[in-house]
């Protein structure tokens, strides 16, 4: 009799495994990787008119300014002394002047062409953020932008 067969009936799990691995890959790639020059400690303000960074911009220098007015340097922004924080505007100005000197030596231009993106914490009072802007000017940088979270205006 045929109903006495002992053949095992197993579901084919291979396509399911493929699908799950693809989903895992997706989430791994979308994981919130921290950008090299930006700091997660900085809580940015929101702005409707903020635009994405122009792709044609060659060199961008991110300056992360915390609520105390200190500039936090990322690993690749640090200099030989390995200082990770610039505590006052004089230090910021000297740091920017050194970077500008290196850049002008390389490019052969009389002014640094890099764009400075100021990532200023939303809790920073203007008396702390203004000296940083002033330091950019003293170091001869002319293209300075303020970073914000792009906000659609709809809650």
Partner 1 sequence: MARRQRMKTEEVEPDLPIIPMLDMSFQLLAFFIITFHPAPTEGQIAMQLPPAEQGGPSTNIPSITDEKPKKYIVEVTATEGGAIARMTFREDGSAEEGSEDLGADVKTYLTKIKSLYETELKRIEAGKASGREVPPPKLTLKIGDRLLQAYVMQLFDAGVQAGFSDIAPIPTDPRKQ
Binding site for partner 1 (CB under 8 A): 13-14, 16-17, 20-21, 23-24, 27-28, 30-32, 44-53, 117, 120-127, 129-130, 133-134, 136-137, 141-150
For residues 125 and 71, the answer to whether their CB atoms sit within 8 Å is no
> Smallest gap, in angstroms, from Cβ of residue 46 to partner 1?
7
> Smallest gap, in angstroms, from Cβ of residue 106 to partner 1?
23
> Smallest gap, in angstroms, from Cβ of residue 86 to partner 1?
18
Closer residue to partner 1 in complex, CB, 53/79:
53
Closer residue to partner 1 in complex, CB, 79/109:
109
For residues 85 and 71, the answer to whether their CB atoms sit within 8 Å is yes
> Smallest gap, in angstroms, from Cβ of residue 138 to partner 1?
9
Phi/psi at 60 (nearest 5 deg)? -125, 135
Burial class (CB in 10 A: 0-12, 13-18, 19+), 124: buried
C-alpha dist (Å) from residue 146 to 13, 15, 56, 150, 155: 52, 48, 18, 12, 23
> Smallest gap, in angstroms, from Cβ of residue 81 to partner 1?
28
The encoded tokens of residue 91 equal 């230090």
End-to-end, the C-alpha distance of the chain in Å comes to 69
Closer residue to partner 1 in complex, CB, 2/14:
14
Closer residue to partner 1 in complex, CB, 104/148:
148
Closer residue to partner 1 in complex, CB, 78/137:
137
């Amino acid at each position: 009799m045929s109903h006495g067969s002992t053949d095992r009936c197993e579901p084919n799990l291979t396509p399911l495994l493929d699908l799950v691995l693809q989903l895992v890959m997706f989430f791994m790639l979308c994981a919130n990787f921290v950008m090299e020059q930006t700091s997660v400690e900085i809580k940015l303000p929101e702005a409707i008119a903020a635009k994405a960074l122009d792709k044609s911009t060659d060199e961008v220098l991110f300056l992360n300014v915390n609520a105390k007015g200190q500039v936090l340097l990322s690993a690749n922004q640090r200099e030989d002394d390995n200082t990770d924080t610039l505590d006052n505007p004089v230090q910021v100005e000297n740091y920017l002047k050194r970077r500008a000197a290196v850049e002008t030596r390389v490019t052969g231009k009389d002014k640094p062409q890099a764009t400075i993106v100021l990532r200023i914490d939303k809790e920073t009072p203007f008396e702390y953020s203004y000296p940083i802007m002033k330091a950019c000017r003293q170091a001869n940088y002319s293209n300075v932008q303020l970073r914000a979270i792009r906000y659609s205006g709809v809650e």
